[in-house]
Amino acid sequence: MDTLKRKIVADSSSDLIAFDAADFAAAPLKIITSEKEYVDDQNLDVAGMVNDLLTYNGRSSTSCPNTQDWLDAFGDADEVFCITITSNLSGAYNAAVTAKEAYEAAHPGRKVCVIDSLSTGPEMVLVMEKMAEMMAEGLSYDEIEKKSRQYLKHTGLLFMLESMANLANNGRVSPVVAKVAGLLGIRVVGKASDHGTLEQLNKCRGESRALDAIVNHLKELGFAGGKIRIDHCLNLEAARELKSRILKQFDKARITIHECRGLCSFYAEKGGLLVGFEKRLAAE
Ligand code: X90
């Protein structure tokens, strides 16, 4: 019997452009201004885009992958494990489900499991790493799907934002919340809610207080020293500082730092941090 070709697929909001642990493809989102369209793939100059946007005053928006973009990412795999940005802020999940139906109808026997992360960025990657581990262990399609969905309940996402202008201008947060983040020196700390929306937790004066707030929330939300991924938008210094503060309290924590790609950079904006983490549930 031929070996099954298995693949992990995500939209570009995961901030990954390459993945060593498994066969992988990303479906790009796009960032659109009246001057330019930025495709969020491996060719994008992210810092260039962020700096263009800082001096651009016109309208800007984003668009999710369409069905064909997802089909291109599925390629010719027999089994696809696909994870998307939250369906409550993007059409990416719905497009992926449409692509799954078309793919399975066109290729009887092939299967696609689509998981709505209700989150984005580094929390998506934690799930993808879990999928890759299970693929390496040779678990069945059904087990990988079930355990990936369970694992997603044991991960969370916190963020720190200096500006929420692009989120507000595109209707992803209320203008009232966004106004606070626009104040000089104020950092908004929040989390991905259970519904996959932005939930504000604190307004902090200065980055140092915001980083402390993140460490406290990690503890309250059940982080117990497992994996953490920090994605930053041109703010390596804050990412490193956060890592060292977490390690002071959890010396065994496995923490990695990564750069945001286009979509997360557009919405998190310069200085923003996204923190994906493993957590224990209260009942455990
Ligand atoms: O379909 C599209 O055009 C994409 C829309 C995406 C909108 C939200 C992106 C948020 C990116 C901001 C901080 C973390 C938010 C957590 C949300 C659950 C990053």
Which one of 38, 232, 267 would you pick to mutate in the ligand 1 pocket, going by the greatest count of ligand atoms within 8 A of its CB?
Answer: 267
Say yes or no: 174 and 135 in one domain.
no
CATH number of domain containing 72: 3.40.50.10440
Q: Which atom of ligand 1 is nearest to the CA of 119?
A: 18
Atom of ligand 1 nearest to the CA of 197: 18
For the chain, what is the mean pLDDT?
96
pTM higher than 0.85, yes or no? yes
What would the two tokens of residue 76 be? 């010719």
Domain final residue, candidates 100, 119, 152: 152
> What is the percent of the chain where pLDDT is above 70?
99
In a domain, 44, yes or no: no
Determine whether the shortest distance from the Cβ of 160 to ligand 1 is under 6 A. Answer: no
Has residue 267 been placed in a domain?
yes
The strand order across the sheet containing 79-84 reads 24-27, 6-11, 79-84, 111-116
Residue 52 lies in a domain: no
pLDDT in tens, 5-28: 999 999 999 999 999 999 999 999
* Number of domains, the chain: 2
Mean local confidence (pLDDT), 246-254: 97
- Per-residue pLDDT tens digits for 31-71: 999 999 999 999 999 999 999 999 998 999 999 999 999 99
Instruction: Report which of 257, 273, 277, 276 is spatially closest to residue 208, judged by C-alpha positions.
Output: 273
Give the closest residue (by CA) to ligand 1 atom 10. 267
What is the tens place of the pLDDT at every residue in 209-249? 999 999 999 999 999 999 999 999 999 999 999 999 999 99
Residue 109 falls within a domain, yes or no?
Answer: yes
What pLDDT, on a 0 to 100 scale, did the predictor assign at position 64? 98
Q: Which pLDDT score is estimated for 284?
A: 74
Structural domain includes residue 258: yes
85 and 172: one domain? no
Position 1 pLDDT exceeds 60: no
39 belongs to a structural domain: no
Whether ligand 1 lies within 6 angstroms of the CB of 268 is answered as yes
- My answer on whether 103 and 127 are in the same domain is yes
Sign of CA dihedral 270, 62, 87, 85: negative
Please say whether the beta carbons of 254 and 228 come within 8 A. Answer: yes
Which residue owns the Cα nearest ligand 1 atom 12?
268
Expressed in angstroms and rounded, the spacing between residue 170 Cα and the centre of ligand 1 is: 10
pLDDT at 169: 94
163 shares a domain with 100: no
Ligand 1 centre from 212 Cα, in Å?
23
3-state secondary structure 120-143: CHHHHHHHHHHHHHHHHCCCCHHH
Q: Is residue 167, in this structure, part of any structural domain at all? A: yes
The confidence score (pLDDT) of residue 183 equals 85
Of the listed ranges 110-119, 170-179, 191-200, 216-225, the least confidently predicted one is 170-179
Domain termination residue (choose one: 136, 152, 168)? 152
Contact 200 CB / ligand 1 (< 6 Å): no
Query: What letters, b where the CB count within 10 A reaches 16 and e where it falls short, cover 26-56?
Result: bbbbbbebeeeebebeeebebeebbebbeee
The range of the structural domain enclosing residue 242 comes to 155-283
134: in domain:
yes
CATH number of domain containing 184: 3.30.1180.10
Q: Are residues 184 and 146 in the same domain?
A: no
What atom in ligand 1 is closest to the CA of residue 118?
18
pLDDT digits (tens, 9 = 90+) for 83-106: 999 999 999 999 999 999 999 999
Cα end-to-end span (Å), the chain: 41
Judge if 97 and 225 occupy the same domain.
no
pLDDT band at 2 (very low <50, low <70, confident <90, very high): low
**Which residues are bridge partners to 112 per DSSP?**
80
